[in-house]
Amino acid sequence: MRVCFISHSAGRGGAELALLELLQGLIAEGVDCKVLVPKKGPLLAALDRLHVEWRIIGYPRWMVGSRNRWMPGRVIRTVKAVLLAIPMARTIGRWQCDIVLSNTIAIGAGALAARLARRPHVWHLHEFGFRDPNLRFDLGNHRTTYLMDRFSAVFIANSDAVFKDYTQYISQHRIRKIYQAVTLHDELESTQWQLDTKLLFKCVIVGSLHIAKGQDEAIRALAELVHRGVEAELLFIGDGGRRFRKTLREQIKSLDLEQRVRFIGYVENPAQFIRMADVMLVCSRWEAFGRATVEAMLAEKPVIGTANSGGTAELIQDGKTGLLYEAGNHIELADKIQYLYENLEERSRLGTAARIWAAGRFTQERYAKEVLSLLREVLTNEEKI
């Protein structure tokens, strides 16, 4: 089998990391994988290491932020996507791919290209595309879901939460839930942080700096902890927009926490910081899956996550493999952090239970086999038509 994957970027975000996990698993199963990307980026070096052929075709996204909603831009992007679907289809045909898989819903051109190339199309849903108020589809929600449904044979949801969210728009019998793989790599990217000798209780958040990730809530919880006399600090692993970073820094200054909060920035491999953590925080207001949650579990770290944030509550069994709190309640978050701060044995128990639970569930082998089984099913159904 030969599969063409359509990536929405050449970065190293959660969806791209999931793609790399899937590619490694499928290659081990004997699948020939090809990848289309819209521009250059660090993903390409990773594809080269896997000996995966790729090609850059500058197709645009059809889901954009608030600054790009003006009508002329929407029209230009739509026309560009339609026109570039033609060379995409030609490449799919030249590669002799059997099936096309769009890795996220941020890109619509892949589905159209698959239709032009007369190949079945699968959509991998890694996000709550219609829930984020800061994102909009150029064609509007109704037209977008209509085209997604019409141009795709089947959909893959990366969690129960995502599955349920999309049943509002797509028949549930056409959506399959498949948890992605998560591999914790221990190669150290830098040694500078290993020299830190501060004996503060380290709370770590891994993820982009974004209002949806709840870093502001973690800061309020830290302020409450410091007020109670808890010797804790907060590390942010990830990058983001300047505006939200500025907002966070102003919040930190107003709460007199400059010596308690550190912005590490983006790192390709966060494992070293996960290993340093006393507790991992997942404060996301909506989380489709939660790769950082599983990474912490694999590292045997206790995780405190939001109970009403989609995929997070699927990964954490409250009191068994981690702790949950209600998003928006920073006092409850502070209470949970303080509980673990004061109970070393409980931290160890939760971390061990989390590792045991996660270790056999998020492997590349399982991920690849489930996706491959679905792709074979799609091809078999196409042959019957």
pLDDT tens-place values along the chain, 385 residues long: 999 999 999 998 889 999 999 999 999 999 999 999 999 999 999 999 999 999 999 999 998 775 566 677 888 999 999 999 999 999 999 999 999 999 999 999 999 999 999 999 999 999 887 776 667 888 888 899 999 999 999 999 999 999 999 999 899 999 999 999 999 876 554 445 554 546 799 999 999 998 889 999 999 999 999 999 999 999 999 998 889 999 999 999 999 999 999 999 988 889 999 999 999 999 998 889 999 999 999 999 999 999 987 889 999 999 999 999 999 999 999 999 999 999 999 999 999 999 999 998 999 999 999 999 999 999 998 876 6
Residue pair 292/303 in contact (Cβ under 8 Å)? The answer is: no
CA distance 289 to 201: 27
From CA 244, how far away is CA 279, in angstroms rounded?
24
Among 3.40.50.1460, 2.102.10.10, 3.40.50.2000, 3.30.1360.20, what is the CATH number of 192-359? 3.40.50.2000
Query: What are 223's two structure tokens?
Result: 């302020």
DSSP 8-state assignment for residue 7: -
Contact present, 369 and 23 (Cβ < 8 Å): no
List phi, psi (to 5°) of 62. -110, 10
**pLDDT the model gives residue 113:** 97
For CATH 3.40.50.2000, the residue range(s) in the chain are 2-181+363-384, 192-359
Q: Is the pTM of this model over 0.85?
A: yes
The CA distance from 221 to 215, in Å, is: 10
Which CATH superfamily, name and number, covers 2-181+363-384? Glycogen Phosphorylase B; (3.40.50.2000)
